[in-house]
Structure 1
Amino acid sequence: MGSIRQCSRSACQRPAIATLTYVYADSTAVLGPLATYAEPHCYDLCAEHAERLTVPRGWEVMRLALPEQAPVPNTDDLMALAKAVREAGTAPSSPDEVPAQRGLREPIEPPAESGGARRGHLRILRGQQ
């Protein structure tokens, strides 16, 4: 089984084995093993693109040891996730077992205007009959 994440380069379908991070303050690019979590400001690269990496003139590249092939997903992690989802989906047998839920709010009712209303970047639409 291959890596779940693919190379970030356009049109590349190969599995990622490395993560590229830029440290702009130091003009440094850090290329290391695939990060545990996909971060929004990092780039996952396949073996070919990691090998061919170039950086802007004046920048330094810090290359950490890379694995020979893409990591295999851990089945223990997947089973733990499936178990947590199953447990969350089961209803408590008595009202005393209901966990305290923080941050619950009443649903927002749309304003009385016709059509829809804008709230910042969101739009509330009335149900269509």
Structure 2
Amino acid sequence: MPWSRLSGSISSPKMDVAIDMGNPFLNLTLDGFLKIGTVAATRSAAEDTYHMLKRGNVSGHNFEQMLKKMCKEGAYWGTTAGLYVGTEYGVERIRGTRDWKNAMIGGAVTGAVLSAVGDNKKDRIVIDAITGAAIATAAEFINYLT
């Protein structure tokens, strides 16, 4: 029986915006903030647009609420990404090596800081630090596999 195999790769267009702040730490932190903040704002806009169209209620007030939510989501997730990327880079510079432990420490610090800012109790802060460390470490391992 004849058979064939399809081989190829899928890639998306890549666009990088470089803003030189004069310091690698600041460059990476700002890059993380802008990239993830943009993704979060876009996701929020798509979700709100869907809900407005589903309800059939497109108005100036709804559009204004959508813009506010986009800014809030973009700022929150951008700050989270910037904090994580900056922390991971700082840990890498302090330790002098690049490995999964930097991601783990960066995730733990990011989870703890975001939890503490949210005015949580000690137990919740520790749980969020563990969660941040686990997610960052898993992402690092998955990135290594691909």
Which structure shows the bigger proportion of residues in helix conformation?
Answer: 2
Which structure shows the bigger proportion of residues in strand conformation?
Answer: 1
The TM-score normalised by the length of structure 2 is: 0.25
The TM-score normalised by the length of structure 1 is: 0.27
